[in-house]
Amino acid sequence: MKKLKATKVTFQKGKEIKSELIGEKKVMDSIADNLVTDSKHAIEEAEKSKDGKIITFTAYEEVEEVKESETELNTLRVKYEELFGEKPHHATKAETLIKKIEEAEKA
């Protein structure tokens, strides 16, 4: 599943004149990829259009999600640094950080 941001965009004479956020939604990967690709093509075509017609459509782009496990790992790294006065090695796993933090707190 991928998270997409939907935006209603309006072009005139090859320039974007209005953009309005519709919302965000999770969709299957293959559908997300198709929507993003189609949106890129629609934007390219709208930018090429030089007549006075107003073109409005919904554009989709993928939104990066921060995984909960990454947030937890970052929190553990900060706590480790506070306890030991140095940053942990960048490849240190969460389990190792938890163990070292617990040992330091017991001492």
Report pLDDT digits (tens) over 74-104: 899 999 999 999 999 988 988 899 999 999 9
Q: Examine the pLDDT at 69 and tell me if it is beyond 80.
A: no
Q: What is the pLDDT of residue 15?
A: 94
Measured between alpha carbons, how far is residue 79 from residues 70, 94, 107 in Å? 14, 12, 16
Mean pLDDT of the chain: 91
> How far is it, in rounded angstroms, from Cα 46 to Cα 56?
9
For the full predicted model, state whether its pTM sits above 0.75: no
Measured between alpha carbons, how far is residue 47 from residues 13, 36, 42, 93 in Å? 8, 17, 9, 47
Q: What is the pLDDT of residue 23?
A: 94
